[in-house]
Amino acid sequence: MRKIALIPAYKPSYKMTDLVMELQKRSFEIVAVDDGSTHKYEEVFGYVGLYAKLIRHKVNKGKGEALKTGLRYIKEHYEAPYIVVTADCDGQHRVEDIVNVAAEGEAYPDSLILGRRELDKTAPFLSRLGNGTTRVYYFATTGRKIYETQTGLRAFSDKLVDKYIDLPGKRYEYEMDMMLISSDGDIREVPIETVYFDNNADSHFNPFKDTLTLWSEYIRYKIPSLITAAVDYAAFVLAALFSGTFLIPNLIVRTATFVLKYILNKKVKFSEKAGIVRYLVTSLAVILLDTAVIWGFTALGMNVYVAKLISGILMIGVSIGMRMLFMRTKK
């Protein structure tokens, strides 16, 4: 199978020329995207162009846009089947690790493959902090345990290219969008060596700005859930007030809001949710369990509106648990 290395670059050092030379020796075809670097870097890209197809952005657009530019070129100019491996230009990814990640992508063409660094105390503090924080957020959002959420070394087959080309995200949040849209599919991690130069001085990642942007992607991903949770509670309160009971109203309201949530999920472009069967099974379980929990709390003397609120929080954990159960069943 053809192996294509996609390398976005912004103000790269000569480490990039060493990387493309070595990858060509390993039978990789290389697509490099100059993301608006200044004329100061013309010599570097001159060497890169000897070994790679070089695409230029006139201005800096961000890593996400550079990756999408490369993917569009690959889709238009390469015939399937092939494996795309994205790698950073700063020499952090060893050629051996790129080869191993590509091999995993070839073995599992329906999967997103992540190069997993072991971020111990020798790694820069901001790298450990950023990855640890996004790891927690990713689990809370998707119910999936992924150790390395910020790796730039990834592999996927031509089957997934269309899925990634039209994602939102211009900078580093684009890579998180890839993770979010793949959360219901197969994601595999391959151990790689952790390499840093001068405490990661070559990185253009802005710890404050880009971390905030990453968090905003999680929020946008959860918009359907946030909206339907608010609608669910408001509709329940109104129905219970007017009907004088809560069992039937809760069943009706919960069912209606799950239908609303499914529709909203379709509107969130990068949020490719699970199949209809899994969604129906999860929804039915949550509807019945939510109603049972409210009944149990009220039987103990709790106010029905407080019981509904607490039950709603508990159902978040139930949904995550069922998601994890489905993931294990798929494996």
What gap in Å lies between CA 66 and CA 307, rounded to an integer? 49
Q: Give CA 230 to chain center in angstroms.
A: 25
pTM recorded for the entire structure: 0.69
Determine contact, residues 63/10, Cβ cutoff 8 Å. Answer: yes
- CA angle, 126 as apex, 122 and 129 as ends, to 5°? 95
- pLDDT at residue 145 in the model: 79
Query: DSSP letters of 86-104?
Result: E--SSS-S-HHHHHHHHHH
- Mean pLDDT, the chain, rounded, equals 82
Both tokens of 250, joined, read 């809760």
More confident residue, 192 or 325: 192
Contact present, 107 and 33 (Cβ < 8 Å): no
Between residues 189 and 140, the one the model is more confident about: 189
Helical (H) or strand (E) element with 152:
none
Query: Domain spanning 2-221 has what CATH number?
Result: 3.90.550.10
| CATH 3.90.550.10, the chain: domain bounds | 2-221
pLDDT of residue 251: 86
More confidently predicted of 190 and 117 = 190
* Phi, psi dihedrals of residue 188, rounded to the nearest 5°: -120, 145
Instruction: Look up tokens 């329940």; give the residue.
Output: 236
For 91, phi then psi, to 5°, come to: 85, 5
Identify the top-confidence range among 36-45, 258-267, 311-320. 36-45
Cα(291)–Cα(7) distance, rounded to whole angstroms?
A: 52
Reported as a pLDDT band with limits 50, 70 and 90, residue 270 is very low
101, pLDDT greater than 70: yes
User: pLDDT value at position 205?
Assistant: 52
- The predicted pLDDT at position 19 comes to 94
Range among 108-112, 196-200, 244-248, 264-268 with highest mean pLDDT value: 108-112
Query: Which of 67-81, 202-216, 278-292 is the most confident on average?
Result: 67-81
**Residue 40 clears pLDDT 60, i.e. is over it:** yes
Those residues whose C-beta lies under 8 Å from the C-beta of residue 47, and which sit 6 or more positions away, are 14, 17
pLDDT category at 5 given cuts 50, 70, 90 is: very high
How many whole angstroms separate alpha carbon 104 and alpha carbon 110? 11
Please give the pLDDT value at position 144.
Answer: 78
Helices marked H in 152-206: 161-165, 173-181
* Bridge partners of residue 5, in order along the sequence: 30, 85
